[in-house]
């Protein structure tokens, strides 16, 4: 079985870039910069350096055959979210899924639609 190496955990700034790439698809540095600048002013060289570091960390891939170069996330949003939640589960909640879920629901109330999805997932996990 071939195992995909687990990338390093993305920083908050790196997650901002990943969100832009997940939402917009493969993009140039300028396209990512435009997305970053909607939240806060970021310089081109800062965005470029961040994306170079992310490439080295294995978070994104760079297509050098195109000019300008195109960047794409190496892992899906779902894979990254699972990694982050798994890390949080182990580090903050000592592996207790119950405590993680209870704290998450205490911090932010779930909508009726979200609660229905949670209930559906729980029923599926119980085999109903």
CB-count burial class (<10 Å; 0-12, 13-18, 19+) for 43: exposed
**Tell me, what's the pLDDT at 112?**
92
Average predicted confidence (pLDDT) for the chain = 91
Asked if residue 78 has pLDDT above 90, the reply is: yes
pLDDT classification of 85: cutoffs 50, 70, 90: very high
**Tell me, what's the pLDDT at 4?**
55
Domains of the chain: 12-73 (1.10.10.10)
Half-sphere exposure for 12 (CA within 13 Å, toward CB): 1
Question: Mean pLDDT across the stretch 102-128?
Answer: 89
């Amino acid at each position: 079985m071939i195992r995909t190496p687990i990338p390093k955990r993305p920083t908050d700034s790196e997650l901002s870039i990943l969100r832009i790439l997940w939402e917009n698809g493969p993009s140039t540095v300028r396209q990512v910069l435009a997305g970053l600048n909607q939240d806060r002013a970021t310089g081109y060289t800062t965005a470029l350096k961040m994306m170079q570091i992310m490439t080295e960390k294995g978070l994104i891939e760079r297509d050098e055959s195109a000019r300008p170069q195109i960047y794409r996330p190496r892992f899906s949003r779902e894979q990254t979210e699972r990694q982050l939640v798994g890390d949080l589960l182990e580090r903050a909640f000592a592996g207790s899924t119950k405590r993680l879920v209870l704290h998450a629901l205490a911090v932010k109330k779930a909508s009726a639609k979200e609660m229905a999805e949670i209930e559906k997932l729980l029923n599926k996990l119980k085999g109903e």
